[in-house]
Structure 1
């Protein structure tokens, strides 16, 4: 595992898993939210966002967390490992609420946390498994045939996966 794409619904734990993997494997970590949005919630133009990702995935080692289905193919085509956090929506919402409480709301780019909760985001999380999961799986099937794909369906499974990696101190 040297080029790892961590994907999943908002609140699924992408940043936590990605950060732990990057530390354990001693590889650079990129949070796509921190790349995509500026301090005023302005997104990058699509071409610029894609170009930045092309540069990131050209590196020999990386962990990149984030969904962004429009550019997911870039990461999938270059990853040797894909970790898909297929966590139930209510667990994701709980994770979002915990994150909001932990960071007192707002943006925390240094942590890769962009905490912008609105009704559209909540409905996205609630409908992720029905609407987005089939698209994500299709993109994985098309662009990541060469990669090891690890689907984790609970926080416990994610903790077990991380704890089972060589050098892990998690219990």
Structure 2
């Protein structure tokens, strides 16, 4: 397992899981949110993601559906954190309070934590808009890629325990 994608709604726990996987697997982490805000053009962003994907070993966390195929093509394992809406909403509000006026470790220094109505709506509507497309894509690749769908804390703990014991 050399290349792992971690995807899911904002607040689903992508960055936290990526940190745990990093400690277990000793793979470098690429938080896409850290780099997305630096890209000024779509082409530049796509090229940056391609460069990341072409390296030999990584954990890449983040959604950015337009470039998901680039990452899937190179990934050994795809972890989809399909967490409940209420949990994601709770976590983004908690994160906003926790990092008020500061930048999260997985973001650029010039990108302080914020919470606005557009972001709240995006998280609230994720299950309706983005989740279905993600599940369809994972269904298409599960024959030749290891796909892990995590829907609750127990499944997440089991995954981390299983990887830790190897």
Query: TM-score, normalization: structure 1?
Result: 0.86
Paired with 1:165 and 1:67, the residues of 2 have a C-alpha distance of 23
- Going from structure 1 to structure 2, the CA distance change for 1:138 and 1:56 (only over 3 Å counts) comes to same
- Going from structure 1 to structure 2, the CA distance change for 1:154 and 1:105 (only over 3 Å counts) comes to farther
Paired with 1:105 and 1:91, the residues of 2 have a C-alpha distance of 23
Please list every run of 5 or more consecutive structure 1 residues that lacks an aligned counterpart in the other structure. none
Q: Does 1:58 align with 2:59?
A: no
Match of 2:100 in 1: 104
Instruction: Quote the RMSD (CA, aligned, Å).
Output: 1.9
Paired with 1:13 and 1:136, the residues of 2 have a C-alpha distance of 17
Paired with 1:16 and 1:24, the residues of 2 have a C-alpha distance of 13
Residues 88-114 of structure 1: per-residue CA shift (max 9 Å, x gap)? 111001111222222225533xx1146
Match of 2:154 in 1: 156
Match of 1:131 in 2: 129
Aligned partner of residue 149 in structure 1, secondary structure: strand
Paired with 2:132 and 2:62, the residues of 1 have a C-alpha distance of 17
Match of 1:20 in 2: 20
Match of 1:31 in 2: 31
Pick one of 119, 122, 139 that aligns with 2:120. 122
Please state how far the C-alpha of 1:134 moved relative to its aligned partner. Answer: 1.1
Residues 47-70 of structure 1: per-residue CA shift (max 9 Å, x gap)? 111111111111111000000011
Please state how far the C-alpha of 1:167 moved relative to its aligned partner. Answer: 4.8
- Asked if structure 2 preserves the Cα contact closer than 8 Å seen for 1:3 and 1:62, the reply is yes
Matched pairs, number = 162
Q: Does 1:46 align with 2:42?
A: yes
Query: TM-score, normalization: structure 2?
Result: 0.88
Paired with 1:24 and 1:124, the residues of 2 have a C-alpha distance of 32
